[in-house]
Structure 1
Amino acid sequence: MRDLKVQQVADLLRQRNAASSRGTSRPWRIESVYLFDVQQLLAELRARGVKIGTASSVRAAQWAAAEIYPRASNQALPVRPEQAELLRLYAPTG
C-alpha cells in the first residue's frame, strides 16, 4: 500500500479547496474515513445475496468496523496523529 506523505495530502486538499464552480468555492468536508478489505466485504455481500454494484448495501456494522478516522475501529491502517490533525482541518464547522 502506498504511504502518502502528510504534506502531499495537505497540498492536494488545499488545491481542491482553491477550486471554484461559477465563482463559489466548494470546500472539502471530511467527517470520517473508512478502509474496507474489499475481498472480505465482497464475500460478506455475496453470502447475503446482495447484488454487487454502485448501490450495494453495506451494513452499518461493516461501516463501523471499517472506520479508521475519527474512531480507529480498523487497525489495518492506523491514522497517525499528524494525519488526524490534517483531517480535522476539513471537519464540518457549525
Structure 2
Amino acid sequence: MYSEDPAAAFDSGLVNVVNNFQELHVSTIVPPHYAGHLKLHLEGPDGKLLPSDAAVDISMLWCVPHSHPHYLKAVTLLGAVHAVPALQSVHMPLGNFTLLGAGE
C-alpha cells in the first residue's frame, strides 16, 4: 500500500506471500483527514493477476492516542477500559474491504 502524494509519503513496502493460506499484518500511517488515494499492487507468484480463489482483506483502523479529546468516547465504544490506566492508544475500526482474485 502506498501513496504518490508527497504530502502523505507512505509506503508499506513489498509483502511476499509464500503459502496457499497466509495471514499478514502490514501497517502504514496515513496523515489525519487524508483525502488522497491509497494504491495497492497485487499479483500472484507468477507475476500475473491473483488467482480466482485469492482474497485480500484490508482493514482500516484509527489509532486514538490517550491525548485525543475523544479518547474516552473511543474507550467506551470499544469497551477498552483496560487501556485507560496505562494510557494506551485504542484502535477504532473504520471499515474494511475485500479484494478477490481475477482468475486465470
Which TM-score applies when normalising by structure 2? 0.29
Q: Which structure has more strand as a fraction of its residues?
A: 2
Structure with the higher helix share, 1 or 2: 1
TM-score for both structures, normalised by structure 1:
0.31
